[in-house]
């Protein structure tokens, strides 16, 4: 038969709270953060800061670096970065599942969320120093 | 897949030839319909069969299929009822798109051929008819009905509801179970455990109903593994819905509700999900 897909039979009830709720919450929060802040960061750090006279741009970058060195800003930045990373990780995992790796959905959590965790730690270390974003 | 061209009579059909309930052709032009054919008792595999059908710009694809069945080939099997976008019976793939054939006008396709197939992601029973068993199982799983202990107790009158409370779920209650969203959803085709757009939207509809007390029972099913979380927000379900329901939106709202319950379970292990 040419038709495909599910026969729809449900194999009874499973655990009430799938861990997917946790990963989806990170994905959802990260999506909001990425949509709201990441484009602005790209414009500010990639276009506005280096624009114009190099000497003026360098002074501007230094002032920006000092602002980023303020710990409340570091915490806010880390929040945006970490949530955005887990947003990416969740999307990549589900994309891989759609590409035929659905049976490995549990195993895929290791490289996807593990990668996001490693990148988050790296971001925390970078922010911990006084070099700001650069 | 073999493709057989059947020589079907075409041309104007006079009122004297009209079959009761069959549309009347009023145009000299014709349009080709390629119908998916499969009779499991005789066919080893599906095939397409072409029919020349009188073209009338007021006709919809369903009219053309009915004309074929009434005038050319009575063995064509399809499902339909109201012809007015209410019953949800006549959903099929028309040129690869899931549509209600009673709402798909021939003039949208003329002069090109129209290929009609059964809804994808469903087992085919015969010709254009799919099996609804899997869908019905999923629909039943989310308990799409009012749950409360006193649901049959009318002594207190109606279960009253404000317009604002009604507005929270009204659009999700417009679903006619036509299953177009299941044919449009790529996750339905990949993930057997995914409940699918219509069932999840209807489950959410009752979860949002202020008169209902069955949210916890429904969430037992909706929150499990890939039942709901398999949705990757492709959004095609909402695009193809003929009743302008937004199942994709319902699923996102239900996910947010489920995530709240998940975290609430840590804070109040015994009180969450009530």
Tens of pLDDT, residue by residue over A4-32, are: 333 333 334 444 567 889 999 999 999 99
Q: Domain limits of chain A? A: 20-128
Lowest mean pLDDT among A92-106, B58-72, B105-119: A92-106
Pairwise CA distance, residues B125 & B82, whole Å: 21
In the Cβ-directed half-sphere of A5, how many Cα atoms lie within 13 Å? 25
Residue B123, pLDDT score = 96
pLDDT at A78 over 70: yes
Tokens read off for B187: 């996750």
Residue B201, pLDDT score = 98
- Which chain B residues have a beta carbon less than 8 Å from that of A29? none
pLDDT at B93 over 50: yes
Residue B16, pLDDT score = 37
As its CATH architecture, domain A20-128 has Up-down Bundle (1.20)
Of B137, B186, B223, the CB nearest to A21: B223
Residue B182, pLDDT score = 98
Chain segment A90-110, per-residue pLDDT in tens: 999 999 998 889 889 889 999
CATH 1.10.1060.10, chain B: domain bounds? 133-267
Give me the residues of A, 33-62, that contact B with CB < 8 A: none
Residue B27, pLDDT score = 60
CB contact A128 to B (< 8 Å): no
Beta-bridge mates of residue B30: B54
- The answer to whether A1 contacts B221, with C-beta atoms less than 8 Å apart, is no
Residue B46, pLDDT score = 97
pLDDT at A42 over 60: yes
pLDDT at B60 over 70: yes
Question: Mean pLDDT throughout B243-250?
Answer: 97
Confidence of residue B23 (pLDDT cuts 50, 70, 90): low
Confidence of residue B10 (pLDDT cuts 50, 70, 90): very low
pLDDT at B6 over 50: no
Lowest mean pLDDT among A22-26, B4-8, B138-142, B220-224: B4-8
Which of A2, A5, A29 is the best substitution to test chain B (most B C-beta atoms within 10 A)? A5
Chain segment A45-73, per-residue pLDDT in tens: 899 999 989 999 999 989 988 888 888 99
Tokens read off for B22: 């069959």
* Whether complex ipTM tops 0.90: no
Confidence of residue B144 (pLDDT cuts 50, 70, 90): very high
Lowest mean pLDDT among A69-78, B88-97, B239-248: A69-78
Q: What is the 3-state secondary structure (H, E, C) of chain A?
A: CCCCCCCCCCCCCCCCCCCHHHHHHHHHHHHHHHHHHHHHHHHHHHHHCCCCCHHHHHHHHHHHHHHHCCHHHHHHHHHHHHHHHHHHHHHHHHHHHHHHHHHHCCCCHHHHHHHHHHHHHHHHHHHHCCCCCC
What fold is seen in the domain B133-267? Answer: Fumarate Reductase Iron-sulfur Protein; Chain B, domain 2 (1.10.1060)
CATH 3.10.20.30, chain B: domain bounds? 3-130
Residue B22, pLDDT score = 57
Confidence of residue B99 (pLDDT cuts 50, 70, 90): very high
- Domain B3-130 homologous superfamily, CATH: Beta-grasp domain (3.10.20.30)
pLDDT at A120 over 90: yes
More confident residue, A111 or A20: A111
- The answer to whether A24 contacts B38, with C-beta atoms less than 8 Å apart, is no
Chain segment B257-267, per-residue pLDDT in tens: 999 988 888 78
pLDDT at A34 over 80: yes
Rounded percentage of chain B residues whose pLDDT exceeds 90: 78
CB contact B39 to A (< 8 Å): no
- The answer to whether A22 contacts B1, with C-beta atoms less than 8 Å apart, is no
- The answer to whether A6 contacts B265, with C-beta atoms less than 8 Å apart, is no
């Amino acid at each position: 038969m040419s038709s495909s897909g599910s026969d729809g039979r449900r194999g009874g009830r499973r655990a009430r709270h799938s861990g997917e709720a946790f990963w989806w919450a990170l994905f959802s929060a990260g999506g909001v953060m990425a949509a709201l802040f990441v484009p602005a960061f790209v414009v500010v750090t990639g276009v506005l800061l280096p624009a114009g006279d190099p000497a003026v741009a360098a002074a501007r970058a230094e002032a920006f670096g000092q602002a980023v060195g303020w710990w409340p800003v570091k915490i806010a930045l880390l929040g945006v970065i970490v949530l955005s990373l887990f947003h990416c990780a969740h999307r990549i995992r589900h994309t891989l599942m759609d590409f035929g790796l659905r049976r490995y959905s549990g195993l895929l959590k290791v490289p996807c969320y593990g990668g996001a965790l490693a990148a988050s730690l790296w971001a925390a270390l970078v922010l911990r120093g006084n070099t700001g974003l650069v | 897949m073999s493709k057989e061209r059947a020589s079907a009579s075409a041309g104007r059909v006079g009122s004297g030839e009209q079959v009761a309930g069959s549309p009347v052709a009023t145009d000299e032009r014709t349009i080709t319909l390629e119908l998916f054919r499969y009779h499991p008792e005789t066919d080893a595999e599906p095939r397409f069969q072409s029919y020349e059908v009188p073209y009338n710009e007021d006709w919809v694809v369903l009219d053309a299929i009915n004309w074929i069945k009434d005038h050319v080939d009575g063995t064509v099997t399809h499902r339909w009822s109201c012809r007015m976008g209410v019953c949800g019976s006549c959903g099929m793939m028309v040129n690869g798109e899931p549509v209600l054939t009673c709402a798909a006008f021939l003039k949208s396709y003329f002069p090109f051929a129209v290929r009609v197939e059964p809804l994808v992601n469903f087992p085919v029973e015969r010709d254009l008819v799919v099996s609804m068993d899997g869908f019905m199982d999923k629909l039943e799983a989310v308990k799409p009905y009012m749950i409360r202990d006193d649901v049959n107790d009318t002594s207190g009158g109606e279960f009253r509801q404000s317009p604002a409370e009604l507005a929270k779920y009204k659009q999700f209650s417009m679903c006619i179970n036509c299953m177009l969203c299941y044919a449009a959803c790529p996750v339905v085709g990949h993930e057997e455990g995914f409940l699918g757009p219509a069932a999840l939207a209807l489950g959410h509809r009752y979860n949002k109903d202020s008169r209902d007390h069955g949210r916890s029972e429904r969430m037992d099913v909706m929150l499990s593994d890939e039942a709901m979380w398999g949705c990757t927000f492709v959004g095609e379900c909402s695009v193809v819905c003929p009743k302008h329901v937004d199942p994709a939106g319902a699923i996102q709202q239900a996910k947010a509700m489920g995530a709240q319950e998940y975290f609430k379970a840590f804070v109040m292990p015994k009180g969450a999900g009530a």
